[in-house]
Structure 1
Amino acid sequence: MRIAVVGAGAIGGCLAALLDAAGHDVVVVARSSAAVLRAEGIRLEGAFGAHNARPDVVDALASPPDVAILATKTIDSAAALAPSAAALADVPVLAMQNGLDAHGRVAGILGHRRVAAALGTWAANALEPGVVRITAAGETVVGGPEGERFAALLAAALPTVRLARSIEGAQWAKLCVNAANAVPAAVGWSMQACAADPGLLRVTAAAMHEAARAALASGVALEAVGAVTPETLAILATSAEAAQVVPVAMAAGFGDVPNLGSTQQSIRKGQRTEIDDLAGAIVVASTRLGLAAPVNAALVDLVHEVERTGAFVARDRVAALA
């Protein structure tokens, strides 16, 4: 198949390399990293194996591919899709993005509903263009319109792919997982180091607790995402203290290679983060549901401070949030 991958960061680079390894004709739509990718290709390392891919690299699609995968941050969706909008007018698209209703937002941008959603529990790091290291394996969950098509496509390239009964429920579960992203991004530590620090662990658990309360109150049929099951979400929602077991288990699953989380990776690359669609989405949803999410609200402010100043926040300021 001719597959377009829009976005060549950690997720897009990984998918482009794996689909290339599976024998597909891959074209990558990239902006800032285009020159490096044309010269060096994409090197994949780590838990999904090693592969050097040399996909076509373009600024915009000149003709429709068979399918496309959008793997940018949510805040970059419109800008990334605009140059290729005509070529994607009736093409099935997979939004491999964080946040709630990612596929709905992409469908609004493209003007058609042939948009599926996917999320992964694997940890990918890409701090330099064209080099992607998978530091922890995991599953990929796919759903929504065109979900069966993309689940079949990815199943031939990724080790564990599952078609979700409710992609919205899976997105809520992943949002609860991603609630662990903000503390490392604020202090500049790895997720493992934050989980090992009692004060930062309390804050991380409190953020996840707020997220899980909102998830349960949303009324959506929650799905398991990796090791995070509806039962895990119930533990997270019980109390901030009880919730601490979850980020500790997550950190153990990452192994010895420092996992920075996607938000901190964006900061270290000098890019805008999608914190407003992660911790910020928890705040918005909690408010709509009549709940409070003060820890997530404070973390949003701190991450924006880091973006604005370029300096990570002192550990004690973050630990004081819970």
Structure 2
Amino acid sequence: MRIAVLGCGAIGGLILGYLSHKDVDIIGIVKRYQREPFSLEGLRIEGVRGSQVYEVKTDTGLKEKVDLAIVATKIDDIEDVVVENNEFIKDATVLTTQNGVRADYILEKYFPPQRIITGIVMFGATFQPPNRIVHNFEGDFILGNIFGEEVKDLEKVREVLNKAFRTRVLENIQGAKYLKVFVNLNNCIPAILGVSMQEAFGDLDISELAIRLNKEAYYVVEKSRIELQDLPGYPEERLRKLLSMETKQAASIFSQIMTSLSKEPLYGSILQSIKRGRKSEVDYINGEIVRLASQNNMEASLNRKMVSLVHRVEASGKFLTRDELLKEVA
């Protein structure tokens, strides 16, 4: 199976590096500014599996057909990378890796649903441009099809990815995708503050804000009749029990969890995008809750506020202090 990773930031780079050393025919499609560092210096991955420089094959565009295209760009870049490489991926199976639930629907404009594999990434990484990645923590790679279609190459893809990541297939991938939204829902808070996850959620008042954000989102998802699906290592029951607690008690537990996620400072995907001057994915995470609420005649005012604040930081380049943030959401 010939594989292309379209986009080699945190997740795409990790996939490219690890699979390149597992006897897999794989190429990474990188940004122009990355091409020379990747070629001359290789791809450096540090973190939970140690430190190693990987010699990888890269280019700025495909020049031959592939069997599998792993789409690892930011969600707003999906259409551009698909169009640019369409000649070589139009007959391929495609795999999404983005947070939120909308990436597969974007790809549906270009590929039949039975050739789209919905992916959920449970491992975490931080991209340090142009060619360094910190692998912060391990986790599963989960596959399925959000349209309920049978994908011919699904098992073959699972076997290949399983060489580098524990990979499994879920039937209710939509429910799992929405549960993953809750995993990412709090990324907006450190992004607004411009600090690591550990620093942000070491503050109990900020952790209380996170719990309020999750309680609102859980109410919206429940009333929208979406059945959440357990994720490996993260059962839905754990979230439900946490959110059923009194807010201060839940915040204390949440703070302990978040401050022990990684020995290295952990920067969520939203903050990573802001620091690189790129539009973040907040519209597809907290914005997904706002969209669901609107669709079902509800309001998600706190999630809506967080979307607005992230966009303010994106536009101004100025982070809020914790006191400014708490005043905004009081």
Q: TM-score range by the shorter chain?
A: over 0.9
Structure 1 window deviating more from structure 2 (112-121 vs 182-191): it is: 112-121
Percent identity reads 28
Structure 1 equivalent of residue 83 of structure 2 = 82
Query: Are 1:90 and 1:112, in contact at CA under 8 Å, matched by a contact in 2?
Result: no
Asked if residue 201 in structure 1 is aligned to residue 212 in structure 2, the reply is no
Distance 2:258 2:21 in 1: 30
Q: Per the alignment, in what secondary structure is the counterpart of residue 143 of structure 2?
A: strand
Distance 2:43 2:98 in 1: 20
Asked if residue 124 in structure 1 is aligned to residue 125 in structure 2, the reply is yes
Structure 2 equivalent of residue 20 of structure 1 = 20
Report how far residue 69 of structure 1 moved: 0.5
1:221–1:302 Cα change, 3 Å = same
1:144-165 CA-partner distances (Å, limit 9, x unpaired) = 135433222211111x222112
1:140–1:10 Cα change, 3 Å = same
Q: Which runs of 5+ in 2 are unaligned?
A: 146-150
Report how far residue 112 of structure 1 moved: 5.9
Could you state the TM-score of these two structures normalised by the residue count of structure 1?
A: 0.92
Report how far residue 253 of structure 1 moved: 4.2
Asked if residue 275 in structure 1 is aligned to residue 275 in structure 2, the reply is no
Report how far residue 264 of structure 1 moved: 0.5
Asked if residue 180 in structure 1 is aligned to residue 190 in structure 2, the reply is no
Distance 1:135 1:83 in 2: 31
1:164-189 CA-partner distances (Å, limit 9, x unpaired) = 12111111011011111000000011
1:205-245 CA-partner distances (Å, limit 9, x unpaired) = 11222222233233333222243312123235536716536
Query: Are 1:101 and 1:168, in contact at CA under 8 Å, matched by a contact in 2?
Result: no
1:240–1:262 Cα change, 3 Å = farther
Q: Per the alignment, in what secondary structure is the counterpart of residue 110 of structure 2?
A: helix
Distance 1:10 1:216 in 2: 32
1:69–1:139 Cα change, 3 Å = same
Asked if residue 58 in structure 1 is aligned to residue 65 in structure 2, the reply is no
Q: Per the alignment, in what secondary structure is the counterpart of residue 87 of structure 1?
A: helix
Structure 1 window deviating more from structure 2 (252-261 vs 181-190): it is: 252-261
Query: Are 1:127 and 1:268, in contact at CA under 8 Å, matched by a contact in 2?
Result: no
1:277–1:236 Cα change, 3 Å = farther
Query: Are 1:180 and 1:247, in contact at CA under 8 Å, matched by a contact in 2?
Result: no
Report how far residue 67 of structure 1 moved: 1.3
Q: Per the alignment, in what secondary structure is the counterpart of residue 156 of structure 1?
A: coil
1:142–1:155 Cα change, 3 Å = same
1:303–1:41 Cα change, 3 Å = same
Distance 1:121 1:67 in 2: 21
Write the mapping of 1:38-53 to structure 2, written as runs, cut at 5 A: 38-53=39-54
Distance 1:93 1:279 in 2: 25
Distance 1:23 1:51 in 2: 17
Report how far residue 249 of structure 1 moved: 4.8
1:163 corresponds to which of 169, 193, 198? 169
Q: How many residues align?
A: 321
Report how far residue 279 of structure 1 moved: 1.0
Distance 1:297 1:177 in 2: 18
Report how far residue 111 of structure 1 moved: 5.4
Structure 1 equivalent of residue 109 of structure 2 = 108
Distance 2:270 2:200 in 1: 14
1:199–1:10 Cα change, 3 Å = same
Distance 1:69 1:248 in 2: 34
Distance 2:187 2:49 in 1: 22
Structure 1 window deviating more from structure 2 (58-67 vs 233-242): it is: 233-242
Query: Are 2:211 and 2:243, in contact at CA under 8 Å, matched by a contact in 1?
Result: no
1:33-70 CA-partner distances (Å, limit 9, x unpaired) = 23322222211111144442222222221221121201
Structure 1 window deviating more from structure 2 (209-218 vs 8-17): it is: 209-218
Write the mapping of 1:213-232 to structure 2, written as runs, cut at 5 A: 213-232=219-238
Report how far residue 81 of structure 1 moved: 1.5
Distance 2:323 2:300 in 1: 20
Structure 1 window deviating more from structure 2 (142-151 vs 296-305): it is: 142-151
